[in-house]
């Protein structure tokens, strides 16, 4: 009897609703099972964001032809240079050797100084 009187006095001063009791219980459950709750929530948010982004962006534009790399441009330039030359006219090996510096070629040959 005394317990019910005490309860009635507390309830008359403050109205205790189910919301006041359930929020702490809900937060305790969420805190306890956070790893099991966080991943599905993050997965759903990510999936919705991904599809929303593609919906807003629309169709993907037609791919533009990629710019050639430096090595490809160099190869094209070298091929163009080769097309303009006459490959039957070749410099003789003697001319090529005379073009090289004599100090390098005669370093180990003292008789040809």
How far apart CA 68 and CA 30 sit, in angstroms, is: 55
How far apart CA 113 and CA 103 sit, in angstroms, is: 9
| Pair of tokens at residue 76 | 């094209």
**Average pLDDT value for residue range 57-70:** 79
pLDDT over 90 (residue 110): no
- Reference 83, options 75, 92, 95; nearest CA is 75
pLDDT over 60 (residue 12): no
User: Considering the chain, what percentage of its residues have pLDDT values greater than 90?
Assistant: 20
Q: Is the pTM of this model over 0.75?
A: no
Q: Pseudo-torsion of CA 39, 45, 50, 52, nearest 10°?
A: 170
Instruction: Dihedral sign for Cα 71, 73, 77, 83, please.
Output: positive
Least confident range of 43-47, 72-76, 84-88, 90-94:
90-94
pLDDT over 90 (residue 30): no
């Amino acid at each position: 009897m005394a317990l019910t009187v005490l309860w009635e006095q507390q309830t008359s001063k403050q109205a205790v609703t189910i919301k006041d009791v359930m929020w702490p219980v809900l937060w305790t459950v969420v805190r306890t099972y956070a790893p099991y709750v966080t991943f599905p929530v993050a997965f759903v948010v990510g999936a919705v964001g991904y599809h929303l982004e593609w919906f807003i962006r629309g169709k993907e534009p037609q791919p533009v032809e990629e710019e050639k790399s430096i090595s490809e441009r160099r190869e094209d330039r070298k091929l163009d240079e080769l097309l303009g030359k006459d490959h039957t006219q070749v410099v003789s090996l003697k001319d090529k050797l005379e073009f090289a510096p004599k100090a390098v070629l005669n370093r180990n040959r003292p008789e040809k100084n």
